[in-house]
């Protein structure tokens, strides 16, 4: 079994896990603030070995700083705290791995990583486009996070997989800039070719999974992927230069079975494993 809690930050490590328990801008059902703790709890029942990748987590050097203390009523302060934690990772020459929390927590992490890697590209797995200019007049919302990211790094430096919900304007933007892709084998090959040797930030909104296997999320969308599709994706990403990553939008209390938390923990395990080496 793998467990974050026994990983001492003082020990040498290549990857630093940071909990960002924030869901202050969610647009439907809250609860993602409990995601990091639920992933940690579920991880205790997940094997360290991935038969698909044929790698064991015991050989990966990672540490966990636990959850950041975030003031729920102040979005600006929350984003600043997250960014500072990621900047500390980068200053220590370790890869930041954020556990959300809602998807807005990705923004300050990407900002910090982009400052260090100006040729950064972002690969997003998600059910939702998150390309709104604002949500009910608010520009810092989980519904707008990829619009803010695109403005930062350039629309041509983003690829989005699994999207099945968005406004007409969002789809016009994504089609116009060619950001949309799929999990078909040819498209995955093209994705890796597009990335090339550039540094990658990988953001996985867990609602990319179908609600049939992942109901524990605030904004579920029918038509999502299954575990096997995710594993095919993660396999092709294995050789890419991933310099930052996150897994967000688990709302564990919305799935009384606990299966969503287990799936989220396995996603985190696979993401850790592709960083090995």
* pLDDT of 276 above 70: yes
Q: Determine if residue 130 is labeled as part of a ligand binding site.
A: yes
pLDDT of residue 143: 86
**Taking residues 253-257, what's their average pLDDT?**
97
**Taking residues 246-268, what's their average pLDDT?**
98
pLDDT of residue 10: 66
pLDDT of residue 274: 96
**Taking residues 109-126, what's their average pLDDT?**
98
Q: Determine if residue 8 is labeled as part of a ligand binding site.
A: no
Torsion of CA 61, 197, 244, 135, to 10 degrees: -160
pLDDT of residue 25: 85
Q: Determine if residue 103 is labeled as part of a ligand binding site.
A: yes
Q: Determine if residue 205 is labeled as part of a ligand binding site.
A: yes
Q: Determine if residue 126 is labeled as part of a ligand binding site.
A: yes
* pLDDT of 8 above 70: no
pLDDT of residue 24: 87
| Beta-sheet strands, E only, within the chain | 15-20, 49-50, 55-56, 62-67, 95-100, 121-125, 158-161, 180-181, 199-205, 241-248
* Distance separating alpha carbons of residues 266 and 48, to the nearest angstrom: 9
The pLDDT tens digits for 156-182 are 999 999 999 999 999 999 999 999 999
pLDDT of residue 73: 85
The pLDDT tens digits for 63-88 are 999 999 999 889 999 999 999 999 99
Could you give all domains of the chain from N- to C-terminal order, each with its CATH number?
4-273 (3.40.800.10)
Q: What is the pTM of this model?
A: 0.95
Confidence of residue 9 (pLDDT cuts 50, 70, 90): low
pLDDT of residue 228: 97
Q: What is the mean pLDDT of the chain?
A: 94
**Taking residues 121-132, what's their average pLDDT?**
97
pLDDT of residue 217: 97
pLDDT of residue 2: 60
Percent of the chain with pLDDT over 90: 87
**Taking residues 203-214, what's their average pLDDT?**
98
**Taking residues 114-124, what's their average pLDDT?**
98
Q: Determine if residue 14 is labeled as part of a ligand binding site.
A: no
* Distance separating alpha carbons of residues 149 and 207, to the nearest angstrom: 19
* Distance separating alpha carbons of residues 51 and 55, to the nearest angstrom: 7
Q: Evaluate whether 263 touches 209 at the Cβ level (below 8 Å).
A: yes
Q: Evaluate whether 272 touches 62 at the Cβ level (below 8 Å).
A: yes
């Amino acid at each position: 079994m793998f467990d974050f809690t026994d990983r001492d930050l003082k020990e040498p490590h290549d990857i630093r896990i940071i909990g960002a328990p924030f869901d202050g801008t969610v647009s439907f059902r809250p609860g993602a603030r409990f995601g990091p703790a639920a992933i940690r709890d579920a991880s205790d029942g997940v094997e360290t070995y991935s038969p698909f990748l044929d790698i064991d987590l015991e050989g990966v050097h990672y540490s966990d700083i636990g959850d950041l203390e975030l003031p729920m009523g102040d979005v600006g302060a929350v984003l600043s705290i997250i960014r500072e934690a990621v900047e500390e990772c980068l200053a220590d020459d370790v890869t930041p791995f954020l556990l959300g929390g809602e998807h807005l927590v990705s923004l300050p992490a990407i900002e910090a990583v982009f400052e260090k890697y100006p040729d950064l590209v972002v690969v997003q797995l998600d059910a939702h486009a998150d390309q709104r200019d604002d949500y009910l007049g608010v520009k810092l919302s989980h519904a707008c996070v990829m619009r803010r990211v695109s403005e930062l790094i350039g629309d041509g430096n983003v690829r989005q997989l699994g999207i099945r919900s968005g406004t007409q304007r969002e789809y016009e933007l994504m089609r116009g800039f060619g950001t949309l892709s799929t999990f078909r084998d040819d498209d995955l090959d093209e994705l890796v070719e597009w990335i090339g040797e550039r540094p990658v930030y990988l953001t996985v909104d867990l609602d990319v999974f179908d609600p049939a296997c992942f109901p524990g999320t605030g904004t579920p969308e029918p038509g999502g992927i299954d575990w096997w599709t995710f594993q095919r994706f993660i396999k092709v990403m294995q050789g890419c230069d991933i310099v930052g990553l996150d897994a967000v939008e688990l709302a564990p209390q919305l799935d009384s079975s606990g299966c969503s938390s287990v799936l989220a923990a396995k996603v985190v395990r696979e993401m850790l494993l592709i960083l090995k080496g």
